[in-house]
Structure 1
């Protein structure tokens, strides 16, 4: 399974903003530069995260973004589900487009479905706070003072 870059970048935005001290704001420009993400792409991601209440934006000259929730309240599995729009790993995962002749007897769909559920179950066991256990090392790598 491969997650979209959109999901990867959303998690990076959350890690970056959570690594800032206190209520310090992060600019989209600095996040864009640290992770080499286009500003337009990043703006869409931030908008989605804001819409769902994960980050808040502050307008104006000294504006930026910051977490809207405590890292302990941001579940990694929930963020991945939000950002990914399609977990249909095979054609047979969809009733509308399943034209596979072996689908009625095939056990693979069940096996892959179980693997997907386990994958998401593991992600559900972690919060952003868990991901930030090595916050000082992450801050150094991202150039945050």
Structure 2
């Protein structure tokens, strides 16, 4: 199974937002950090806002942040929304299936089961879990940590 770039970018946006919570993040910061198109990210951020995963703040100093707790966002839920479908072979869609083996095929049930297991596995992970190493993620991307984390780091010295 291969996910689209849209799913990949959407999850990256959510991971950075979770790592920087409650601070705002900008599309430009993520585009620069990952070396990906601002136009693609704008589409992702817009859709995430429509789905209620993030809230956006307009204007100078604006950006976006998580609108829901990261523990309440399942990776499987996001993938189901960002992918058009999970028809890994054409026979998954009864309306367009042309394979003459369909009534007797043993491959189709195996692939259906594998798809179900794939999604069930992703359902078992939350955004909080995949972004649990948030400081490491931000360091790898050379992004600023949230102000609260910076204050805690200074206090430790």
1:19 aligns with 2:4: no
1:43 aligns with 2:42: yes
1:73 aligns with 2:72: yes
Q: Is the 8 A contact 2:48 2:54 kept in 1?
A: yes
Q: Is the 8 A contact 2:33 2:143 kept in 1?
A: no
**How many residue pairs get matched?**
144
> Where in structure 2 are there 5+ consecutive unaligned residues?
145-157
SS at match of 2:103: coil
Where does structure 1 differ by over 3 angstroms across 4 or more consecutive aligned residues? none
Task: State the partner residue of 2:10.
Answer: 10
SS at match of 1:56: strand
1:137 aligns with 2:136: yes
CA distance in 2, matches of 1:90, 1:128: 29
CA distance in 1, matches of 2:95, 2:107: 18
TM-score by length of 2: 0.89
Per the TM alignment, residue 144 of structure 1 is displaced from its structure 2 partner at its CA by: 2.4
Structure having the larger proportion of residues in helix = 2
Per the TM alignment, residue 136 of structure 1 is displaced from its structure 2 partner at its CA by: 2.0
SS at match of 2:64: strand
Deviations 1:84-132 (A, max 9, x none): 0111111110111111111110011100000000000100001011112
Structure possessing the higher radius of gyration over alpha carbons = 2
TM-score by length of 1: 0.96
CA distance in 1, matches of 2:123, 2:92: 22
> Where in structure 1 are there 5+ consecutive unaligned residues?
none
